């Protein structure tokens, strides 16, 4: 018995040490990690959400490790608050079963120029089952729990809140811009008035998959006996932007859409796209997109894209007359894991007069968009893409209720709405 307690203490201390290394976001830590996908089993473009009343509906994690051999990999969960910081809970407060388990389902790439190992994981399982609602961080590590490969966010929802969403034609504060999209909410849930809703409830709003412009900790504008009202709040106003651009590399034998050249080099494919230009002076053109997501597939139906899709170095170029002082340009979307970081940052080429970036991408369909970050850290898509109210954006609303007895943020409702 003493040995069992010693193992638990050691595991807990290792996990605590690993937590100190994390950013609690969707981030690849190791360079060899590529094409991480996390979604419900049957809905590849949906957010990774599990409903606590139906924990048998699993999530599917897929990813590649660029290597010839398969490393031993493990995973664990960390419960987070509504601002994506670790909750003040112990592992046994929110996990039934083991605190760590192995990812042992993998296969090697087949007939590809770049070798990789493709991993898959279905979770939760009976051996390792979350038991509280809320925000969770999935952490994938090597044999050393401090050797973090990547992290991904997912959600467990109680589904007790009723959420009504509207998007008026104009924001209540027209000084913010007539083309902006404003979110207005009404929320109700059982025993609402007995839970000090104005103090303990919090709302997060996310536009598409972006976290750089997500709004956290929103409090109600008005508290009624039967509902919470969120209106006339300038923090709930978003840039409309424009429809996402797209590329399709599902068939590299024929030159794909938007592609200038495809070269088969000694050990990889190189794809160069036609130059992109600013769209902020154009009229709005309605075009369907995937709300910034990516979809891995091959045009040839008899091939398995999980292990037979190849990787290509894709070259992007945005025409721009001169270098931007105190500003940076990024490629955003699931194509860069929605991160505003070095992997997404473009470099100015004074000879070609524009910004360039090369990304290693697995064959498939990718949305993308260009964004500008100023010296304050604010990110905007409007200077390059324009700002059109007609743009179809997807907004996800997360409703949290702090549980003072157990000291954590319950996730009591999630809903998604398209702006058009």
* Cα–Cα distance for residue pair 29/150, rounded to 1 Å: 5
Give the alpha-carbon dihedral of 48, 54, 57, 63, to 10 degrees: 40
| Polymer length in residues for the chain | 420
Whether the Cβ atoms of residue 252 and residue 168 lie closer than 8 Å to each other? no
Q: Give the pair of three-digit tokens for residue 24.
A: 């609690």
SS (H, E, C) 106-126: EEECCCCCCCCEEEEEEECEC
Q: Which residue has the higher pLDDT, 383 or 12?
A: 383
Q: Distance between CA atoms of 386 and 299, rounded to whole angstroms?
A: 33
Per-residue pLDDT at 178 exceeds 90 = yes
pLDDT in tens, 111-123: 999 999 999 999 9
Q: Which long-range contacts (CB under 8 A, 24 or more apart) does 299-302 make?
A: 299/250, 299/251, 300/251
pLDDT in the model for residue 362 = 98
Average pLDDT over residues 340-344: 96
Domain with CATH 2.60.40.10 in the chain: 2-157, 162-240+393-418
**Is the pLDDT confidence value at 147 over 60?**
yes
What average pLDDT does this structure show over 166-181?
Answer: 93
Residue 4: which pLDDT band, with cuts at 50, 70 and 90? Answer: very low
Residue 334 per-residue DSSP state? G
Judge if the upstream peptide bond of residue 356 is cis by omega within 30 degrees of 0.
no
**Mean of per-residue pLDDT scores for the chain:** 92
Which contiguous run of DSSP H or E holds residue 382? Answer: helix 382-385
Q: What one-character-per-residue DSSP string does 30-70 give?
A: STTEEEEEEEETT-TTS--EEETT-TTS-EEEEEEE-SSS-
Is the model's pLDDT at 213 over the cut of 60? yes
Q: What is d(CA 9, CA 99) in angstroms, rounded to the nearest whole number?
A: 12
Looking at the domain that runs over 2-157, which CATH code has it been given?
2.60.40.10
Pairing of strands 73-80, 134-141: antiparallel
Residue 203: per-residue pLDDT: 97
Residue whose tokens read 């009343």: 53
> Model pTM?
0.92
3-state secondary structure of 192: helix
Coil, strand or helix at 145: coil
The whole-angstrom separation of Cα 354 and Cα 350 is 7
Q: Which residue has the higher pLDDT, 191 or 99?
A: 99
**Topology annotation, domain 162-240+393-418:** Immunoglobulin-like (2.60.40)
How confident is the model over 124-139, as pLDDT tens digits?
999 999 999 999 999 9
Share of the chain above pLDDT 90, in %: 84
Four-point Cα dihedral 188, 189, 191, 194, nearest 10:
-60
Measured distance CA(170)–CA(181) in Å, rounded: 7
Q: Say if residues 244 and 333 touch (Cβ distance below 8 Å).
A: yes
């Amino acid at each position: 018995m003493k040995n069992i307690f010693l193992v638990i203490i050691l595991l807990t201390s290792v996990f605590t040490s690993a937590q100190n290394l994390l950013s609690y976001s969707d981030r690849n830590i190791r360079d060899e990690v590529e094409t991480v996908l996390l979604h419900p089993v049957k809905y590849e473009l949906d957010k990774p959400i599990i409903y606590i009343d139906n924990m048998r509906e699993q999530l599917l994690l897929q990813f590649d490790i660029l290597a010839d051999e398969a490393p031993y990999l493990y995973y664990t969960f960390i419960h987070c608050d509504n601002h994506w910081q670790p909750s003040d809970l112990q592992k046994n407060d929110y996990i039934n079963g083991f605190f760590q388990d192995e990812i042992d389902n993998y296969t090697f790439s087949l007939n590809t120029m770049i070798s990789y190992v493709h991993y898959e994981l279905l979770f939760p399982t009976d051996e390792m089952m979350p038991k509280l609602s809320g925000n969770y961080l999935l952490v994938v590590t090597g044999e050393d729990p401090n050797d973090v490969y990547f992290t991904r966010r997912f959600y467990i929802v109680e589904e007790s809140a009723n959420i009504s969403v509207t998007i008026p034609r104009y924001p209540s504060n027209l000084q913010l811009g007539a083309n902006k999209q404003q979110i207005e909410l009404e929320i109700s849930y059982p025993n609402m008035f007995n839970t000090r809703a104005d103090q303990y409830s919090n709302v997060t709003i996310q536009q598409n998959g972006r976290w750089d412009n997500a709004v956290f900790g929103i409090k109600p504008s008005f508290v009624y006996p039967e509902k919470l009202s969120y209106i006339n709040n300038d923090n709930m106003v978003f840039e409309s932007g424009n429809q996402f651009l797209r590329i399709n590399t599902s068939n590299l034998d024929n030159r794909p859409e938007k592609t200038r050249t495809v070269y088969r080099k000694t050990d990889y494919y190189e794809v160069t796209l036609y130059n992109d230009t600013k769209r902020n002076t154009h009229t709005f053109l309605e075009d369907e997109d995937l709300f910034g997501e990516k979809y891995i597939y091959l045009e040839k139906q008899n091939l398995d894209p999980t292990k037979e899709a190849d990787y290509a170095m894709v070259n992007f170029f945005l025409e721009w007359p001169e270098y931007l002082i105190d500003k940076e340009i990024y490629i955003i979307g699931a194509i860069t894991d929605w991160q505003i970081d070095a992997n997404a940052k473009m470099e100015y080429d004074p000879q070609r007069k524009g910004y360039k970036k090369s990304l290693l991408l697995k064959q498939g369909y990718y949305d993308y968009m260009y964004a500008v970050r100023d010296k304050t850290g604010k990110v905007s898509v409007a200077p390059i893409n324009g700002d059109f109210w007609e743009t179809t954006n997807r907004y996800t609303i997360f409703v949290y209720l702090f549980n003072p007895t157990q000291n954590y943020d319950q996730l009591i409702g999630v809903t998604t709405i398209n702006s058009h």
